[in-house]
Chain A
Amino acid sequence: MAAYDVAISGGGPGGYVAAIRAAQLGLKTALIEKDRVGGVCLNWGCIPSKALLYNAELVRLFRRSQEFGISHNNLRVDFAAAIDRSRQVVDRMVSGVEFLLQKNKVDVISGTGTLKSRSEVAVEPEGRIVEAGNVIIASGGFSRVLPGVQVDGRTIITSREALELREVPESVAIVGGGPVGVEFAYMYAGYGAKVTIVEMLDHLLPLEDEDISRQLERSFRQQGIGYMTRTAVKELRVVDGKAQLAVSSDGRDQELTTDRALIAIGFGCNSDGLGLEAAGVATERGFVPVDDRMKTNVDGVYAIGDVTGKLMLAHVASDQGVIAVEGIAGLNPAKPDYVKMPRCTYCQPQVASCGLTEAQAREHGYQVKTGRFPFRANGKAMAGADTDGFVKFVAEADYGEVLGVHIVGPEATDLIAEAALALGMESTVADVSRTVHAHPTLSEAVKEAALAAEGKAIHFWAEPSRGEMT
């Protein structure tokens, strides 16, 4: 008889949520974590970076205060204090999770978990063996670095070090224009650094709808945030304490020298040293393949979160965790639909999306209709003097099924929740456009974009040929 019903290796947003849900379902649960619970998300990712980004946003507002008739003549910003505040936020969040785990009677075991067999996890350094009927691997991920580049933690860094370094350099190169890259670009630029983003693909946020990426690029240009697209980094090294980058775009080589370089080219997963071989768990390109119930190829062994290589986001890991334990408990959880899960980026303007981009929808063979509504035609956005951006609906022409919603603009990351519900329910644009949205709110822009997809937007005049709206 196994000591536990479920042992979860890794206490990030996948693992700890799975543990709490398992405990709620009456399963005897162990959570093995080598550091503090919360994983990269709480400790070194989402949460502290959002605290810093809010600081950067405040700095930006102070700089614009004349627009609002508010003046100050001795504005001083202290980045070290911002770092301290972000760590306090982290501490409170982590304590909250610890409290929840304790109240739910989850055994939190400190150490690194390694599979010994399909039902045994060895915890190092103690050497204790945890036996469980089901094992969930939730080992998480890490920031990838360019091959051959040494991260020294001061001049060449990843997001991990950026969350601790207490001073703002004069100039920063950001390698990678994905969500992490543009967020740190915005943060450093807010605190006065000269920022240059180097992105290999055609646009910043290359996975977003192209219209969204173009709007973000326009906003970044206005904010003085530099970027180079279609540019590959060939070499990055430290010379005389500065970061030196050899980059190549359109066949032209050039050099960049900055005080700091931050590598944000994406995430890899932790699948080495987990004992996967011992349990016979298959991997593919370093990831652990799972089915819709998060089962690996080995009975009783599950994997969730970054290690599954699906969509490396905290809320995705949490959802996978719930699906895994509900399946273990004999419930019938609905299968995940990764395409419909929301994706958020927290620079200003914010970017959020779920579902298919317009290009993807066409590629899937859909007859597509789209609708856009700019925030500059929205009263609440104007009142808040934050009018960059728009909402875009991508819908299927026949039945009006919402295929994707893409938002760039104020509070986009909160506005996307409505879109996620619409997609999850297989709603039509008419379901969204017929829902009364309170006035004045930013969410009216969502409704109006849905109306625009039906050619019925009220608060915007577009020439019948579908004029450029932004």
Chain B
Amino acid sequence: MAYEVVMPQMGADMKEGTLIRWLKNEGDEVTRGEAIAEIETDKANIEIEAFEGGVFRKTLAQPGDVVAVGQTIAVIGAADEDISMYEAGKAPEPAMAGAARPAAAAAPAKEATPAVEAAPRGDGHVRASPVARRIAEEKGIDLSRVSGTGPEGRITREDVESFLQTRAAAPEKPEKPPESPREAAPVAMSRMRQAIARRMAQSKREAPHYYVTVVVEMTEAQRLRSQLNDTLGETAHVSVNDLLVKASAKALQRYPIFNTWFIDGEVRRQEAQNVCIAIALDEGLIAPAVLDCGHKSIVEIAQASRSLAERAKSGSLKPEEYSGGTFTVSNLGMYGIEELIAIIQPPQTAILGVGRVSPRPVARDGVVEVAEVMTLALSGDHRVTDGAQGAQFLAEIKRLLEAPVDLLV
């Protein structure tokens, strides 16, 4: 049976790739795992490996071609196999399964799929999981057209769902080749970029920011974190950021004037402490909210923020997570930043900027000692609160982090 080599998807947002060169000539023997082509994506140059050994029968793309993800670019098969269906120069429709999923380079199964045009097996037997069957039945999918990535090629729910996505996303093959992505052009602003530009400009224009900063000693907080993580193992990893979110939520409960929205000249108190955390995506930064942090334990916050990051990347956030935030924690500590002065996200009225935790000299009882410390900067909206209130609020966050047992209760 002939195997098609398809343009793999390296990363969720990859739509197409450029063939740089073939590493094999038509007629060459290839072994499984051998590199056969080099492609370029917007992130890197990658070698494609053969998923099956055989004779490298035919190339369906030329170096320099920009090829859509999932489209067949070459055929590998036995020396005497009939591959006339490819001879017309017309590749079959894009391969389906795997193409729409973020493909790890380590999973060669996704780089070549069995010939799509293969007729369904005579006995009608397809390996598929029960859930995959139910979805296929409901959506009217012929499972013999889906290739499986589960054990022994079984079709999984993920396979069926990505088949559906591919079918929706790439119904037709484009007639004209897309423009080369290497051509210089004005930097196009994504919708997300445009939204960030609009909102941040609005914030700086309308909200008079004041800033207060404080240095927090993190020794106890780090100890608590490592004790929690020792107990939790891999199931939930508590980060410094999770502690910050919890501490902020507790401080917001005590100083609810910071848990407000400023809309149409009115200060509106918000019931739940929905603390936004910044998540970097390829298109830009978004800051969805961990909902109701006041009623979540640290571990629940850790699990929720991990889930939030995953779902932000897969684009499946709930509406209230996008727009229900009441306060924001923006942390650049992982980049080695000492101090971050952040811009308030309207209609919220305060934001906490977080620097890294690092050993620094501190004076204690007249003696200089080295301790793990972190600088926090609160940006407050002066229309709603004053610097003295900001100072009290920030001091409460500091207190909670320095005596973190209170975060557990």
Q: Are the CB atoms of B227 and A265 closer together than 8 Å?
A: yes
Which listed segment binds B: A151-159, A214-222, A357-365? A357-365
From A230, A292, A311, A425, contact of B129 by CB (8 A): A425
Roughly how many angstroms separate A396 CA and B156 CA in the complex, as a whole number? 16
From A178, A200, A400, A425, contact of B228 by CB (8 A): A200
Q: Are the CB atoms of B231 and A267 closer together than 8 Å?
A: no
| Binary contact track B278-316/A, C-beta < 8 Å → 1, others 0 | 000000000000000000010110011001000100001
- Does B193 reach chain A (CB closer than 8 Å)? no
Contact residues in B for A277 (Cβ distance below 8 Å): none
Q: Are the CB atoms of B307 and A363 closer together than 8 Å?
A: yes
Residues of A325-346 at the interface with B, using a CB-CB cut-off of 8 Å, are: 330, 332, 334-335, 338
Q: Are the CB atoms of B409 and A251 closer together than 8 Å?
A: yes
Q: Are the CB atoms of B134 and A146 closer together than 8 Å?
A: no
Q: Are the CB atoms of A309 and B234 closer together than 8 Å?
A: yes
Contact residues in B for A268 (Cβ distance below 8 Å): 230
| Binary contact track A417-430/B, C-beta < 8 Å → 1, others 0 | 00000000111100
- Does B157 reach chain A (CB closer than 8 Å)? yes
Report the minimal beta-carbon distance from B122 to chain A, rounded to whole angstroms: 25
- Does A68 reach chain B (CB closer than 8 Å)? no
Roughly how many angstroms separate A226 CA and B235 CA in the complex, as a whole number? 26
Q: Are the CB atoms of B233 and A176 closer together than 8 Å?
A: no
Contact residues in B for A295 (Cβ distance below 8 Å): 106
- With both beta carbons as reference points, the residue of chain B lying nearest to A431 in the complex is identified as B130
Q: Are the CB atoms of A426 and B131 closer together than 8 Å?
A: yes
- Does A240 reach chain B (CB closer than 8 Å)? no
Roughly how many angstroms separate A210 CA and B42 CA in the complex, as a whole number? 45
Roughly how many angstroms separate A154 CA and B49 CA in the complex, as a whole number? 58
Roughly how many angstroms separate A129 CA and B316 CA in the complex, as a whole number? 52
Roughly how many angstroms separate A400 CA and B234 CA in the complex, as a whole number? 28
Q: Are the CB atoms of A426 and B157 closer together than 8 Å?
A: yes
Roughly how many angstroms separate A292 CA and B232 CA in the complex, as a whole number? 22
Contact residues in B for A311 (Cβ distance below 8 Å): 233-235
Number of chain B residues close to chain A: CB under 8 A? 42
Report the minimal beta-carbon distance from A304 to chain B, rounded to whole angstroms: 14
Q: Are the CB atoms of B231 and A178 closer together than 8 Å?
A: yes
Roughly how many angstroms separate A201 CA and B152 CA in the complex, as a whole number? 41
Report the minimal beta-carbon distance from A268 to chain B, rounded to whole angstroms: 7
- Does A380 reach chain B (CB closer than 8 Å)? no
Contact residues in A for B297 (Cβ distance below 8 Å): 201-202
- Does B104 reach chain A (CB closer than 8 Å)? yes
From B130, B150, B151, B405, contact of A248 by CB (8 A): B405
Contact residues in B for A202 (Cβ distance below 8 Å): 297
Contact residues in B for A363 (Cβ distance below 8 Å): 303-304, 307
Contact residues in A for B405 (Cβ distance below 8 Å): 232, 248, 251
- Does A291 reach chain B (CB closer than 8 Å)? yes
- Does B187 reach chain A (CB closer than 8 Å)? no
Roughly how many angstroms separate A428 CA and B409 CA in the complex, as a whole number? 39
Given known A147-B226, A363-B304, contact A425–B130 (CB-CB < 8 A)? yes
Roughly how many angstroms separate A292 CA and B108 CA in the complex, as a whole number? 12
From B151, B233, B299, B304, contact of A266 by CB (8 A): B233
Report the minimal beta-carbon distance from B85 to chain A, rounded to whole angstroms: 26
Since A201-B231, A401-B157 are in contact, a sample of 19 more A-B pairs with Cβ atoms closer than 8 Å, ordered by chain A residue number, is A144-B230, A147-B223, A147-B227, A200-B231, A200-B408, A206-B231, A207-B235, A230-B408, A230-B409, A311-B233, A330-B32, A332-B109, A334-B151, A335-B107, A363-B307, A365-B307, A365-B311, A400-B134, A426-B129
Shortest beta-carbon contacts, A-B, top 10 = A426-B129, A334-B151, A426-B131, A401-B131, A266-B230, A363-B307, A291-B106, A399-B134, A427-B130, A144-B230
